[in-house]
């Protein structure tokens, strides 16, 4: 256990050091969620006037939840990019040779994803509050919202880690990114589920991210809904992708 | 002679793109995915009073044309930057090929790719029930407009490639262009944007006029003022980009 933790600490320190000292990594991670928040809230706020749109705390809060979850998922995915880069530079091979317990490598990358997202989430939250976002939920509700996003962050990191461990190339970036992008955007991003029509309604209804998004919006508006389902889905995603990441690690080990 | 050289270099640029499936498939599929997501998710927007059409797909079809030109620009200019990095441009400069031909050949190849993509987007739109209000002549005008838009982005992208000679720097343009795209009237007509600051940003953003010109041909018909503005903005960007690119080319050839 001590070996695992020491490896995890070393890996996460290195990843976070690179993240916080390199503007090329830090700025896009923060700028992109802010940019989506700005574009959606600023450009599409009139959507709240669409008949049937009755989100109580306004369009800013409605979109904030999406941007928060999106930033969580992508902070995880970006960690996968770093793993792929470490394979290409040969660092991962040296790390695997040196690490007394390689599970610590997974733990370290996952923890660093979490800290990365916490940084981004802080900035996004501050900006949303400056934009006079209304919050209907209490402290417990908000804790639920951020916990849900945290779960999604871990799931995203484990998914991308599994891909990076298997493909071991930065060319795998679209494979890590695209499914997450599609899952997020095939959910009710701009309007509630009941206002979606046609095929997108069908897709969104079976998309697991929809439950997370609706639960998150329930938390921020102070009318929690689908809470159990959302946490069960998030936990399921973590368990499934943890197995995926561990098997990926074993494959990387086997590949030498 | 110069024409033959330009054609040869243009052909090389097209063939090189065609030989990399990711560079062909991604610019075709990604804008279509974004179109599908937005057309499904934002269909409710058509219920807003004053929305110019009942089909959000028709409204949003303009976006892939601009986005496709942007993606073609990035891909082609990454290859251009690679030519600089690998020394191909220097070797070419030792031949009787005139400097300006290098630029025209590059731009010609890129525009060919963009127009092929535009035909694909148009075909997809028509297959899903969009009818051009400007008729068959409008389709031809659409391709002409796409050429102008591609030329505008391409000249700016070539400038970046020649100025930096770095593939990473050209790839770094993608987020910048993407920001311009999202902070435009891509998802909602400017007169329906509620937030004053966002309407102002969309109004000063040249990408809005490119999108609106394409959109006019799809949902309005022969709105010469909007179409003219689109061509005017594309022309102005092309002139600026081309002047910068030519200057960067001379500097680069001088250095070698």
Residues of chain B contacting A196 with CB distance shorter than 8 Å: 40-41, 43-44
Q: For residue B26, what is the nearest residue in chain A, using CA coordinates?
A: A174
Domain of residue B158: give its range: 2-255
Question: How far is it, in rounded angstroms, from Cα B29 to Cα B21?
Answer: 12
Domain of residue A247: give its range: 2-45+54-255
Residues of chain B contacting A189 with CB distance shorter than 8 Å: 37, 41
A33 near B CB under 8 A: no
CB pairs under 8 A between A and B: 82
Scanning A40-59 for CB atoms below 8 A from B yields: 41-47, 49-53
Q: For residue B39, what is the nearest residue in chain A, using CA coordinates?
A: A200
Name the nearest CA neighbour of B9 among B71, B60, B62, B79: B79
Name the nearest CA neighbour of B150 among B255, B217, B212, B237: B237
Asked which of A48-57, A69-78, B119-128, B225-234 is least confident by mean pLDDT, the reply is A48-57
Mean pLDDT of B221-234: 95
B120 near A CB under 8 A: no
What token pair was written down for B243?
A: 């002047």
Question: How far is it, in rounded angstroms, from Cα A168 to Cα A162?
Answer: 10
pLDDT computed for residue A243 by the predictor: 96
Residues of chain A contacting B54 with CB distance shorter than 8 Å: none
User: What's A255's DSSP letter?
Assistant: H
Asked which of A130-139, A148-157, A198-207, B106-115 is least confident by mean pLDDT, the reply is B106-115
Q: Which of A52, A53, A186 sits opposite B37 (nearest CB)?
A: A186
pLDDT computed for residue A122 by the predictor: 96
**B87 exposed, middle or buried (CB, 10 Å; 0-12, 13-18, 19+)?**
exposed
Residues of chain B contacting A28 with CB distance shorter than 8 Å: 175
Question: How far is it, in rounded angstroms, from Cα B122 to Cα B128?
Answer: 10
- A28 and A118 in contact (C-beta within 8 Å)? no
| Position B255 confidence tier, pLDDT thresholds 50, 70, 90 | low
More reliable by pLDDT, A166 or B22: A166
Name the nearest CA neighbour of B114 among B65, B80, B158: B65
Scanning B147-206 for CB atoms below 8 A from A yields: 175, 179, 182-183, 187-188, 192-195, 197-198, 201-202
How many domains does chain B contain in total?
Answer: 1
Q: Which of A36, A174, A190 sits opposite B42 (nearest CB)?
A: A190
Scanning B19-78 for CB atoms below 8 A from A yields: 22, 26, 33-34, 36-37, 40-45, 47-48
Question: How far is it, in rounded angstroms, from Cα B77 to Cα B167?
Answer: 8
ipTM above 0.85, yes or no: no
Verify whether the Cβ–Cβ distance A32 to B182 is below 8 Å.
Answer: no
HSE toward the beta carbon, residue A92, CA cutoff 13 A: 26
Verify whether the Cβ–Cβ distance B41 to A200 is below 8 Å.
Answer: yes
Q: Which of B26, B40, B187 sits opposite A43 (nearest CB)?
A: B187
Q: Is the pLDDT at B22 greater than 80, yes or no?
A: no
Task: Convert the pLDDT of each residue in B197-215 to its tens digit.
Answer: 999 999 999 999 999 999 9
Percent of chain B surpassing pLDDT 70: 98
Task: Convert the pLDDT of each residue in B158-200 to its tens digit.
Answer: 888 888 887 767 776 777 777 888 899 999 999 999 889 999 9
pLDDT computed for residue A54 by the predictor: 86
Q: Which residues contact B140 (CB under 8 A, 6 or more apart)?
A: none
Helix and strand numbers (H, E) in chain B are 12, 0
Largest CA distance in chain B: 62
How many domains does chain A contain in total?
Answer: 1
| Position A126 confidence tier, pLDDT thresholds 50, 70, 90 | very high
Residues of chain B contacting A174 with CB distance shorter than 8 Å: 22, 26
Q: For residue B46, what is the nearest residue in chain A, using CA coordinates?
A: A50
- A7 and A99 in contact (C-beta within 8 Å)? yes
């Amino acid at each position: 256990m001590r070996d695992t933790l020491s490896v995890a600490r070393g890996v996460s320190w290195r990843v976070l050091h690179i993240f916080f000292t390199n503007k090329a990594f830090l700025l896009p991670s923060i700028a992109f969620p802010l940019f989506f928040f700005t574009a959606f809230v600023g450009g599409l706020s009139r959507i709240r006037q669409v008949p049937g749109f009755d989100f109580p705390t306004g369009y800013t809060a409605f979109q904030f939840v999406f941007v928060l979850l999106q930033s969580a998922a992508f902070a995880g995915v970006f960690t996968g990019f770093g793993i792929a880069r470490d394979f290409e530079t040969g660092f991962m091979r040296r790390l695997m040779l040196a690490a007394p317990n390689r599970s610590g490598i997974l733990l370290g990358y996952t923890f660093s994803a979490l800290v990365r997202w916490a940084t981004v989430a802080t900035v996004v939250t501050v900006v949303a509050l400056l934009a006079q976002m209304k919050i209907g939920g209490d402290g417990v509700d908000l804790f639920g919202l951020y916990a849900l996003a945290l779960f999604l962050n871990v799931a995203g990191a484990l998914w991308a880690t599994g891909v990076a461990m298997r493909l071991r190339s930065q060319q795998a970036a679209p494979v890590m990114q695209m499914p997450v992008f599609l899952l997020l955007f095939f959910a009710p991003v701009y309007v509630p589920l009941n206002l979606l029509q046609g095929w997108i309604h069908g897709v969104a209804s079976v998309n697991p991210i929809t439950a997370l998004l609706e639960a998150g919006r329930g938390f921020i508006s102070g009318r929690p809904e689908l809470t159990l389902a959302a946490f069960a889905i998030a936990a399921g995603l973590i368990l499934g992708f943890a197995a995926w990441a561990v098997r990926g690690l074993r494959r990387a080990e086997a590949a030498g | 002679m110069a024409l033959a050289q330009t054609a040869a270099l243009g052909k090389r640029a097209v063939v090189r793109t065609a030989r990399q499936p990711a560079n062909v498939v991604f610019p075709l599929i990604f804008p279509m995915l974004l179109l599908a997501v937005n057309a499904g998710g934002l269909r409710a927007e058509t219920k807003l009073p004053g929305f110019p059409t009942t089909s959000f797909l028709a409204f949003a079809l303009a976006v892939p044309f601009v986005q496709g030109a942007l993606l073609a620009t990035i891909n082609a200019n990454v290859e251009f930057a690679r030519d600089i990095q690998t020394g191909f441009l220097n070797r070419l400069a030792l031949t009787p090929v005139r400097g300006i031909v290098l630029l025209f050949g590059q731009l010609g190849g890129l525009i060919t790719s963009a127009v092929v993509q535009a035909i694909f987007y148009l075909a997809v739109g028509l297959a899903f029930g969009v009818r051009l209000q400007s008729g068959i002549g409008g389709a031809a005008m659409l391709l002409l407009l796409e050429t102008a838009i591609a030329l505008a982005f391409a000249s700016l992208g070539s400038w970046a490639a020649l100025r930096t000679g770095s593939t990473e720097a050209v790839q770094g343009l993608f987020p910048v262009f993407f920001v311009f795209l999202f902070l435009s009237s891509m998802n909602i007509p400017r007169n329906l944007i509620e937030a004053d600051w966002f309407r102002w940003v969309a109004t000063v953003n040249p990408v809005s006029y490119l999108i609106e010109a394409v959109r006019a041909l799809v949902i309005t018909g022969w709105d010469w003022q909007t179409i003219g503005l689109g061509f005017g903005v594309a022309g102005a960007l092309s002139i600026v980009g081309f002047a910068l690119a030519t200057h960067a080319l001379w500097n680069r050839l001088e250095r070698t």
